Structure 1
Amino acid sequence: MTWVPRTETYEIDDRNLSTAEWFIFNIQQTGYYRVNYDADNWKAITTHLMQPQKYRSISPANRAQLIDDAMNLARGAYLSYETALNLTRYLKHEMDHVPWKAAMTAFNFIDSMLVNQGDYDILKNYLLDLLENVYKDVSPNNFTDDADKGEDMLKLFKRVEILNMACHLGHRDCILESARHFQNWIEVPNPDTNNPIPPNLRGIVYCTAIQYGNEFEWDFAFQRYRSTSVSTEKELLLSALGCSLEPWILSRYLRRSISGDDIRKQDVYRVFAAVSSNVVGQQIAFDFMRNNWNEIKNYLGSTMSNINAILKFATKRMNSKFFLAELESFVKTDVKDNGRSIQQILEQVRVNVDWMARNYQDIIQWLQREAATRQQQKGASLATH
């Protein structure tokens, strides 16, 4: 047993263990601190987790902790992404919600940084491969009408989050199921009072159907937004309406958000958040904000928190020097505000630019090697059958 003093960091040099053994700290994640290990221990932990018959000897909480620590240490440049990503390979046979939750949180950031890059498909395919078994695990009940009745809460959360990630990555079955359920809603009598989509899956179904649909699906959802008086349903629909991949629909949506007709002032930031989260919509949202800055400010009045929120959402995934220069110019000539909130927004984009410069090539090269290895393994497997 080792007593860890109350200091910012604490390093243990002599673990008196052979390189074949592994150990972990912060059992059951009882402490609020991150744990970094030497290269040998990270490798030993990864080797252990890669064994489908043995990985459960480490508790779900600690498996989640290992993923969370490794990926965040890599993000902060305290650990190589090669080491962190090597650890995530074991997720191919992970079935527990808690480690997957940690993994999805970590990969959401990488996804947001790489989604506009030409090599994004390598990341997408890697994640879809990791999801294959856990998707099958939740799929027997994934979109059924009674799937959210009497189900263990952790299983419910797992199902919703796995489906959300799968649909986001373009999983064919997930897209088809979402489209089918959305079409069922369109076809029922009185869709404003009769929604057959399970409540816990509506956000996924709405977004996916609108993303892969056209103007008809978008207009149907917008009409449901106008008709419903349920605040949670309004919020779901506002977010889903930003999922369209049609630039003109997204531009129309942003224009409607400041027209004062259907969307409340306090919800304008939700519209910008939804459009900005869309791979197609981020630049559209920033351009719209820049071209209509004075109109937006006049419409929202003195609600600076909402104005700053709009700027934050429209820039949160910017990660190139070109976009940083555009943002700095916009802040200088139009925003004319050097307050703390604006400086934090600028700093976040600078951090993103720095992260890309430090990590992009390393991550892509790792993903390329992993893709080649998996292809070889599949080829060898086919040759033996």
Structure 2
Amino acid sequence: MASKFGRIFTIIVISYLVSQVTCHSKRSIDLIAAHSLISDTRLPKEISPNSYKVKVQPFPEEGYFKGEVRINVTWQESTDLITLHAHNELEISEKDIAVIQFMADDESEKLSSSPMLPSPIKLIKIERVPKKPLIVLHMEKPLNRGSQCEIQLGFAGKMYNDTSEALFRHQYIDTVSGEKKWYVATHFRPNLARRVFPCFDEPALKATFLVSVARQKHMTALSNMPLINSEEIENQPGWVWDHFEQTPVMSTFTVGFVVSEFVYVERNKTEDDKDMGLDIKVWSRPDYLDMLKNVSDKIIRSLEILQDFWGVPYPLPKLDCFALPNYQATKPADNWGLILFKESELTSKKTWHISQELVYQWLGSLATPFWWSDAHINNALNRYVTAYTTLELNYGYETFNNWPTTMLYSIYYEFSKRYPHGKTTAIKQDSVSAKTELVFRMLNYTLGESTFKHGLQKFMTDRQYKTFFGDDIWAALNDQANFDSVLPKDATVNAIAASWITKDRLPVINVVRNYADNTVNITQKVYLRERPHDVPDQDKLLWWIPIVLVKQNKLDFKNTTPAIWMQKEKTVTLTDMPGSDFFIIVNPEEIGPFPVNYDQQNWNMLSNFLIHDKDRLKIPVNTRAKLLHDAWNLAYAGDLCFDTALDMTLFLKHEKEYIAWDPIFTMIDHIGRHIDSPEIHRKFQIYIRDILEPLYIELASESKEGESDGKAHLRSTSKTFLCQAGYKPCIEEAQAAFKKWMDSENPDEGNPVANQYICPVFQWGTKEEWEFGLQRIINFPPSRKQNERTYLLKTLAGCPLDSWKIERLLNITVLETNGNFSDNDVSLIFSMLAGRARGYTTLFNFLEKNWFTIKTK
């Protein structure tokens, strides 16, 4: 018992201190999907591959595969060792290994068409390197530079159905026949080809591939390229080899194939279609095919946009996309010409899943990062082009038009910490990639879309079928910018980009106007939110910052050419500002990823214009959202008064766009959790009801057919926050729904109340309603799903504002000997209480009041 209450004491103290000191660490980071940098053993550079002939025979029901690979290689330097990647679990029979050298015929070596005669090379040792995915072939003698050989290896391995990596198999139920069926597929990104066949498994070591796949006759095989022919396998009745055309040069991670009983749907062409000369098919299990009829239209439209963007045609003759049941990878498998999706990704109304994988057909497959250290730049540019393509498509615009605001909020938070990323590599890599994406967006605005697009087209033309370094992208943009004369003197794109992507920080600029002489003084410094602001060497951190400026007397948001670049300068001064009756906006549309602070008079003019002026909508919604977000970020950082930040929210009474509302929902939640004074909390709730009620009435309580996802989300979110603020119609609606549960004959059999109603009832309802919820937890039958009980307990503890409800729960769970609550329940209750000011204050007071009783127990 003593150890239990020792843990309770520790949890209470830690919860209280965490809530007081580092409360904003609870905000989630929505960027975690990073391609972390790969630490890998590099292969020696003496030998490089020219081509592969890969034959694989998978046995889906038995769960294994076998095959052989022949690799044509060239000696770049003299060596007697051949080193290949081969996973430790991959079985390689030494008797199936051979190295054949091609030697010129002495009698005809002077002729340009001299034939190459095969000559076996003796191997003296075959070594599997311990704890490394390497196999080393030791030859009897070294071969000289320019020598050519064919390396022949047989291999075998297992296929797993609990992962979607390397060569995997998954089972599904055919709903028509009721039979269990298997399919086999590959996912080699980033370096998993070595799990299936020995190879030079590095992105820079590109080669051509001739792929052959064995299948049973009732199944279909597809690979990167179209089928050449099929042949029956001798001594294996019912089996067929499918041989595919040779690929262009490509990296091992883009090789792929699928063996299945899936069927496909082709695009219904119209008279307006452009003939791309491309065979596009979308595959799925037969009973799912009707869900995919419009997918090929999305694919073809995305491809048209991307071909125009890159200035390079889609490089392969065909594209097959699969909707795979039970596919478990977090990302689609973007094999070249053969893309694997989860079923839900292809049937979603959103198109960015499709666009993103199509971007990889160029950026990743056609032009490939030399090594994974450049993967974050590849990923960042892919994300930018994906957003561009998605917005160009105009499919579900409002489901994607909050780009890039959501991402901006997250990286502002992450890079403003005293210790960004902590020890989490995945967060760091994705944050860096997200910031680099915003740098591309900034360059698109400041260089001009034409310059930016032509620069990337130059890059893709130069690097197609090759590899690239990150600097190659900046160099191509720089060359185009110089050609178009859009860069300031002594500036380079590389220097601009480096000032942003080499720092784990972001800047904030302070704009202070001198209204007497119509000038403005602009300074930059590191943006920090967590206190104390004692980051080492922060005064030395400077950026290339584009100062794009809009004046109230000329509200032109289309001209994004910088008035000046802060060339790693702390301070610049601009003249010719408008008079004291007109505001200015710096960094409109969030052109660069940095917040902007103004002098108090300029903030006041911005607030008054948005609240009272009939022309308020001349400020675009992204800029309105930016002004709100900047004000609150600066207030949290201690650089702006909170009353100014609150004044900036008052125009929301007239606001209907979700993008503008998004930052304020975050603010309401954050502030509301940390107001402990009942009097102040009541005033805060009145403020929430005041700004949200007009929006909720405008949207109406029920959704309308054909309305956008953004409007539906805005209605749902506004209702949630109104309920939390005690909006009477919402509370009455929740209580009416809750009463049906209370009036049921056996309330422990199930919960008929929608989750959205439970928290408002526990927060604002009667003592009887709250006690009813407590009894449902105590009497919860083991036959029901335990996650329902967990949700009920979380809301019972985390939603109430009344101290007596919290104390009642603590008396039962901590003081009384009650077997209905476990240690895990107590920990969950403490966690929920620590998330709100009233909760952790009541918890701490409860501990102080009952300490001797708890200590005695």
Q: TM class, shorter-chain normalised?
A: 0.5 to 0.7
Aligned residue identity for 1:18: P
Alignment correspondent of 2:655:
94
Alignment correspondent of 2:723:
167
Residue 125 (1) aligns with residue 686 (2): yes
Residue 23 (1) aligns with residue 591 (2): no
Q: CA deviation at 1:254?
A: 1.9
Alignment correspondent of 2:574:
14
C-alpha distance in 2, partners of 1:230/1:292? 34
CA gap of 1:245–1:48, structure 2 versus 1, over 3 A, is closer
Kindly report which structure 2 residues correspond to 1:366-385, keeping only aligned pairs within 5 A, or say none: none
Alignment correspondent of 1:49:
610
Q: CA deviation at 1:133?
A: 0.4
Give the alignment's TM-score, normalised by structure 1.
0.61
- Report the secondary structure of 1:285's partner residue: helix
Residue 270 (1) aligns with residue 836 (2): no
Alignment correspondent of 1:209:
761
Q: Contact 1:256–1:262 (CA<8 Å) still a contact in 2?
A: no
Spell out, residue by residue over 1:308-367, the C-alpha distance to the aligned partner (whole angstroms, 9 max, x if none). Answer: xxxxxxxxxxxxxxxxxxxxxxxxxxxxxxxxxxxxxxxxxxxxxxxxxxxxxxxxxxxx
- Report the secondary structure of 1:78's partner residue: coil
Alignment correspondent of 1:335:
none
Residue 238 (1) aligns with residue 793 (2): yes
Higher relative contact order (CA 8 A, sep 6+): 1
Structure with the largest fraction of helix = 1
CA gap of 1:103–1:134, structure 2 versus 1, over 3 A, is same
Aligned residue identity for 1:25: N
Q: CA deviation at 1:166?
A: 1.6
Q: Contact 1:72–1:106 (CA<8 Å) still a contact in 2?
A: no
| Higher Rg of the two aligned structures | 2
Residue 219 (1) aligns with residue 743 (2): no
Alignment correspondent of 1:36:
597
Q: CA deviation at 1:157?
A: 3.5
Q: CA deviation at 1:52?
A: 7.1
Kindly report which structure 2 residues correspond to 1:98-117, keeping only aligned pairs within 5 A, or say none: 98-116=659-677
Q: CA deviation at 1:271?
A: 1.1
Q: CA deviation at 1:285?
A: 1.0
- Report the secondary structure of 1:77's partner residue: coil
C-alpha distance in 1, partners of 2:673/2:619? 30
Residue 250 (1) aligns with residue 806 (2): yes
Spell out, residue by residue over 1:8-31, the C-alpha distance to the aligned partner (whole angstroms, 9 max, x if none). Answer: 44525426431425324162x465
CA gap of 1:264–1:150, structure 2 versus 1, over 3 A, is farther
Give the alignment's TM-score, normalised by structure 2.
0.30
2:624 pairs, out of 63, 78, 92, with 63
CA gap of 1:82–1:230, structure 2 versus 1, over 3 A, is same
CA gap of 1:227–1:153, structure 2 versus 1, over 3 A, is farther
Identity of paired residues, percent?
A: 27
2:698 pairs, out of 137, 147, 155, with 137
Q: CA deviation at 1:116?
A: 0.8
Aligned residue identity for 1:254: L
Matched pairs, number? 289
- Report the secondary structure of 1:36's partner residue: strand
Q: CA deviation at 1:174?
A: 1.7
CA gap of 1:13–1:43, structure 2 versus 1, over 3 A, is farther
Alignment correspondent of 2:311:
none
Gaps of 5+ in 2: 1-445, 447-487, 489-495, 501-505, 510-522, 524-571
Q: Contact 1:64–1:100 (CA<8 Å) still a contact in 2?
A: yes
C-alpha distance in 2, partners of 1:117/1:218? 20
Q: Contact 1:188–1:194 (CA<8 Å) still a contact in 2?
A: no
C-alpha distance in 2, partners of 1:184/1:150? 32
Q: CA deviation at 1:286?
A: 0.9
Residue 288 (1) aligns with residue 840 (2): no
Q: CA deviation at 1:137?
A: 2.8
Alignment correspondent of 1:372:
none
CA gap of 1:235–1:45, structure 2 versus 1, over 3 A, is farther
Aligned residue identity for 1:236: Y
Spell out, residue by residue over 1:80-117, the C-alpha distance to the aligned partner (whole angstroms, 9 max, x if none). Answer: 33432221110111122333231132234444454515
Spell out, residue by residue over 1:227-268, the C-alpha distance to the aligned partner (whole angstroms, 9 max, x if none). Answer: 474455334312221234554442231244456733443343
Spell out, residue by residue over 1:150-176, the C-alpha distance to the aligned partner (whole angstroms, 9 max, x if none). Answer: 975444442333223222222221221
Q: Contact 1:275–1:285 (CA<8 Å) still a contact in 2?
A: yes
C-alpha distance in 1, partners of 2:786/2:654? 39
| Structure 1 vs Structure 2 CA RMSD | 3.9
C-alpha distance in 1, partners of 2:593/2:821? 41
Greater shift in the superposed pair: 219-228 or 87-96:
219-228
1:77 pairs, out of 618, 635, 638, with 638
Alignment correspondent of 2:243:
none
Aligned residue identity for 2:809: Y
Q: Contact 1:238–1:274 (CA<8 Å) still a contact in 2?
A: no
- Report the secondary structure of 1:23's partner residue: strand
C-alpha distance in 2, partners of 1:32/1:296? 51
Q: CA deviation at 1:279?
A: 6.6
CA gap of 1:100–1:248, structure 2 versus 1, over 3 A, is same
C-alpha distance in 2, partners of 1:30/1:294? 59
- Report the secondary structure of 2:585's partner residue: coil
Aligned residue identity for 1:171: Y
Q: Contact 1:163–1:174 (CA<8 Å) still a contact in 2?
A: yes
Alignment correspondent of 2:35:
none
- Report the secondary structure of 1:101's partner residue: helix
Aligned residue identity for 2:740: N
Aligned residue identity for 2:634: L
C-alpha distance in 2, partners of 1:236/1:96? 32
